[in-house]
Each structure stands twice: as structure tokens, then as C-alpha cells.
Amino acid sequence: MTEIEILENSLKAFSGMSRDAFRLSEKYWQIKTYKKGEFYNDFQQVCKHLGFVLEGVFRTYYVDEKNADEKNIFFYTNNQLVVSYASFINQVPCHFYTQSMLPSKVIYIHFNNLMALYRQSHEWERLGRLIAEQASNMALNRTESLLFQTPEQRYLDLISHHPDIMNTIPLYHISSYLGIQGPSLSRIRKRLSEKK
């Protein structure tokens, strides 16, 4: 299956998009490969692209001003959209970094082309609404998980959304995302393996 076919199938599953509607967009999509450590979007830069991860892992993080620690907020893995949504939709500088954690490949569309599709097609407009809802839910769920879930619950939630992530990135990135130290993550993993 080609990259564009993978994307089409995913958008159809996500929004019910028809073949005819998807064809309107085919000329706009571009593919980019990223080296490990390369930025999809950099701090204080305007996010100009909505991407779809074909291969790899990206993280969104910020740098704590007090101690210069990097704090992971989101991960994006295969067949997921990657975007700094507030920066993208408002075309304003981003407060975060979004970085490739492995050699990765993305198929992406420029903001201006996506806006043109929204004006041209109700199906694309619907996709835009669903993406906005998804971005809002991701942010809300992330906030609520830090407020109301235990680290173990956050860990299980992470694994359910990104099943292969434990085998692909260093564990200190997982600890940062969970808001815990490395030894706590080790205890959680040990406890869960003993339950199996």
C-alpha cells in the first residue's frame, strides 16, 4: 500500500471521507523524512503543517525554566496526526517543541491548502471539526490524567494509545511523560508484570 493510500484509508476511518473528497487533496500532500532529533516544529515557530505519521515517534515537550528539564507532554506514533494544534489553527508561534525521537516519515499538508479544502468541501470541513475535537480531547485528557490518575493508570493509558512505544524510546522519556522518576516507572512495570 502506498503512503497516500494509507493516509486515505485512515481519513476515511476517522471521518467517513469519500474517495471523491480525498481526491481533492492528493496534489497537496508531501512526504518528509526526519532524522532522530530533528524538529517537526520548533519552539516559537508557527506550525504550518498538519502531518500524519507513517513511521516513527514524535514527542511534544517544553523546557522547565527553573531547572531546564525537558517535560514530555504528548507522543505521536504510526497512523496518528502530528501537529502543534493551537499554533497551527491560529498561525501563531508555538510554546512547545515537537521532535522526532527516531528516524521517522510523515505525510503532511500546508495550512493554506487545508483551509482551501475546508472552503471547497463539506467533508473536509467535517474533518477539520473532528481534528479540532480530537485536539481538544487530547489536551483535556492529558490535564485530567495528571490531576486525577495515578502514575500506573497514566502508564496503562499510554500503552493503550501507543502499544509499541516502550520498545522504541528510552524509558526516561516515558518517566517524564508520566511525571515520575525512573525508579517509580521500574516499580510500576515490575508490579504489572507480576500481575500477568
- Which tens digit of pLDDT belongs to each residue from 12-71? 999 999 999 999 999 999 999 999 999 999 999 999 999 999 999 999 999 988 888 899
In the chain, the domains with their CATH numbers are 3-148 (2.60.120.10)
Give CB contacts under 8 A, 24+ apart, made by 61-69: 61/96, 61/97, 61/99, 61/176, 62/95, 62/96, 62/97, 63/97, 69/176
- The Cα 19–Cα 14 span in angstroms is 13
Instruction: Place 196 in a pLDDT band, splitting at 50, 70 and 90.
Output: low
> Using an 8 Å Cβ cutoff, are 60 and 138 in contact?
no
Instruction: Place 123 in a pLDDT band, splitting at 50, 70 and 90.
Output: very high
pTM: 0.91
Phi/psi at 18 (5° precision): -80, 165
Q: What is the pLDDT of residue 82?
A: 97
The mean predicted confidence, pLDDT, of the chain is 94
Instruction: Place 167 in a pLDDT band, splitting at 50, 70 and 90.
Output: confident
> Using an 8 Å Cβ cutoff, are 117 and 24 in contact?
yes
Tell me the percentage of the chain whose pLDDT exceeds 70.
99
Map residue 80 onto helix, strand or coil.
coil
Q: What is the pLDDT of residue 194?
A: 79
